[in-house]
Structure 1
Amino acid sequence: MKSFKSNFVTIIVLLLLSFQNVKNVAAQINMQHESQMVQIEKLYASQQWSEIIKLEPVLLKHAEKDLNALLILSESYAQTGNITKGNSYAEMIIAKDPSNYFAFMMLGNNSYVSKEYDQAEKYYLKVLEIRPTYARANLNLASIYEMQKKKEKAISQYFQAIELFSANNFNNEVILYSKAVLNLDPNNTKAKSYLAITTE
């Protein structure tokens, strides 16, 4: 009986030690992972896309709790010229979160770079459907319409962006894109009015 108790206690002790070891290993892995994510943030800030791609397994692990990790991969692949892989990660995000306008923006930018302007337009319009105040989508649409010689549509998108910038007191942007409107329509009184207000 004593032998059984002794063995039982030994087993319990071993189990507790084993559990503690598992906790220690898990903590070490978490610390290593967090350290790697800090490294990735620095690489992203300095636009070292190829170095980020080398850490793809880390980002995929992090993506289990934060889809922004997939956005980083999407942009990194696109920036290194692998548009197909970049798009695949953006589409993966949308499959998990259809309201993620950053992923649609990424698809729009990749289409823009690939000169697939009709496709880019659809993605940018989707961005604005989800997030009407995302002025960058308006500006990219304006750029597309300018290239397509659709002057009125380009001006309309510029003004939507200008109104957002004006509401948030981004005066430099108001001036810049008011001048863009005037390049298309030198007599545009609305653009002149925005310029007059912001340069007073």
Structure 2
Amino acid sequence: MNRRYAYALSALMISGLAMAQKSELKDAERAIKKGDVQETKAALSKVEAVLSNANDAQKAQYYFLKGNFAYEQVKKKVDLDKNIDEVVASYKQVFELEKGAKSNKYSKQAEEELKAVSQIVVNKAIEANNKSQYTEATKRFNKAYELNPTDTIYLYYAASTAVNSKDYTGAINNYKKLMDLGFTGQESYYTAVEKTSGEVQSFGKDSKMRDLMIKQGSHKDPKFVKESSKRPEIIKNMALIYHQEGQYDEAEKAIAEARKSDPNDMNLLLTQMDLYLKSNNMGKYEELAKEALAKNPNDDVLLYNLGVTSYQAKKYDEAKKYYEKAIAINPKAENAYLNLAILKLMPDEGLTNKMNALGMSASDNKKYDALKKEKDLIYKSAIPDLKKVLDINKDNTEAINTLKGIYKALEMKNELKALEAK
């Protein structure tokens, strides 16, 4: 008798809980419609306390209301990141619960609201990118991809903005994901210009909608856009990041792959040369230098870069030849003139050390005077190149300061005064 009574009492308690849940869910629904934040939170909190006793339909309704409440806050831009995360998490529960129950009572609206949230996130990402707030843009594009895993273009944008913010780890991680997903970015879509705003609007794959807008007169200039593959760019960026971060083995693999995609990219070729330079593989370095010159024998920028890499390799005579060739092709090659002057001034430190090491004997004084003459000749040899730099760019501070030092050392007071007056 007692046992049967206990069962009956238990059934009544569960029934009472279910009734309370229905009531609180209705209260939450009404509060959301009214826009009453505190009332909604209180009602949802009461349901959450007894959620373990709810059936799947009630749980789905609870998570839908929770997500819908967060969605309303997102629209008002209240605690944007927190509420976006809440929308995603809550609606994920709705989808799982209704999929198991083979129902779509709440899923359809949840999907529509997720799309709307996604668009808000994308717009915020674009806004941040346009303001050069690249860290914020990266975060938003990553979230947009999380909301739309099939729209891999957002992952690509997240990687690009990460590069701009110098978050190279984040960029590499996203590029790797894109490579694993087989992303190419080789898309085609229909566009038209909206007459009122003058902006190009994409209609995606929907040519009929685009054509309808043209027919109605709200749009003009219809186009079919076919973008080239972004894969070579991704591989190239990975190679350059690895190179910059000193991960030379990874960089070498990526560059070799990138050059297969774009063998004529001079930046990649120069980066590959620099890698061989750093690993002291001079045979490969010189092989690539010949390849680079064969491709662009009259490219003054290439010649200048070869001068820089030769200088770094301590091949100073080669560096001098490259700088002189760059100048012969482009008489306004400012940096080539400056580096040529620096090359000419290189013996200065060694001569100064020798002079300072001498004693005060007659023999040492004679040696000192000879070294001083040699030092002065070096200074004088660099003056024309530094003047050329200033003819091209009067504000080049390195050239100005170096020339001032030379004029002081050579006691060229009039020249120094004239330079300081500029």
TM-score, with structure 1 as normaliser = 0.67
Residue of 152, 156, 164 corresponding to 2:380: 152
CA positional deviation for 1:128: 0.6
Match of 1:108 in 2: 307
Q: Structure 1 residue 171: deviation in Å?
A: 5.1
Tell me, in whole angstroms, the C-alpha distance in 1 between the residues paired with 2:262 and 2:285.
Answer: 15
Give the structure with the higher percent strand: 2
Amino acid at match of 2:324: L
Shift of 1:55: 1.4
Count of residue pairs brought into register by the alignment: 169
Greater CA drift, 120-129 or 28-37: 28-37
> 1:92 Cα deviation (Å)?
0.6
Give me the whole-angstrom Cα distance separating, in 1, the residues matched to 2:419 and 2:305: 30
**1:38-67 CA deviation, whole Å, 9 max, x = no partner?**
3234345x3536142231322322443422
Structure with bigger gyration radius:
2
Residues 115 and 65 (structure 1), Cα distance of their counterparts in 2 relative to 1, 3 Å cut: closer
Choose the corresponding residue for 1:181, options 397, 403, 406.
Answer: 406
User: For residues 93-104 of structure 1, what are the structure 2 equivalents within 5 Å?
Assistant: 93-104=292-303
Paired residue for 1:164? 392
From the superposition, tell whether residues 106 and 65 of structure 1 become closer, same or farther in structure 2 (CA, over 3 Å).
Answer: closer
Which structure 2 residues correspond to residues 1-200 of structure 1 after superposition, within 5 A? 27=184, 30-44=229-243, 46-48=244-246, 50=248, 51-148=250-347, 149=375, 150-166=378-394, 170=395, 172-182=397-407, 184-187=409-412, 189-197=414-422
Superposition RMSD on alpha carbons, in Å?
3.0
| Deviating more after overlay: 120-129 vs 68-77 | 68-77
Deviation at 1:184, TM superposition (A): 4.4
In the superposition, relative to structure 1, how do residues 163 and 60 fare at CA in structure 2: closer, same or farther (>3 Å)?
A: same
User: Which amino acid is 1:196 matched to?
Assistant: A
Deviation of 1:153 (Å):
1.6
Summarize the Cα distance change of 1:158–1:56 in structure 2 as closer, same or farther, 3 Å threshold: same
C-alpha spacing 1:47/1:176, structure 2 compared with 1 (3 Å): farther
Answer 1 or 2: which has greater helix percent: 1
SS in 2 for 1:55: helix
Label 1:142 to 1:63 Cα distance change in 2 as closer, same or farther (>3 A).
Answer: same
Alpha-carbon contact 1:124-1:137 (below 8 Å) kept: yes
Contact 1:136-1:161 within 8 A present in 2 as well? yes
TM-score if structure 2 supplies the norm length? Answer: 0.35
Quick one: which amino acid aligns to residue 91 of structure 1? K
Higher RCO (CA < 8 A, seq sep 6+): 1
For residues 413 and 334 of structure 2, the distance between their equivalents in structure 1, rounded to whole angstroms, comes to 21
- In the alignment, the residues of structure 1 paired with residue 309 and residue 283 of structure 2 have an alpha-carbon distance, to the nearest angstrom, of 9
| 1:159 positional shift | 1.4
How big is each residue's C-alpha offset from its partner over 1:19-78, in whole Å with a ceiling of 9 and x where there is no partner? xxxxxx89579443332223234345x353614223132232244342222122112322
Shift of 1:138: 1.4
Sequence identity (%): 26
Name which of structure 1's ranges 103-112 and 126-135 shifts more when overlaid on structure 2. Answer: 103-112
Aligned-partner Cα distance in 2 for 1:182–1:47: 41
| Structure 2: stretches of 5+ with no match in the other structure | 1-181, 187-228, 348-374
Matched residue, 2:364: none
Shift in CA distance, 94/184, structure 1 to aligned 2, threshold 3 Å: farther
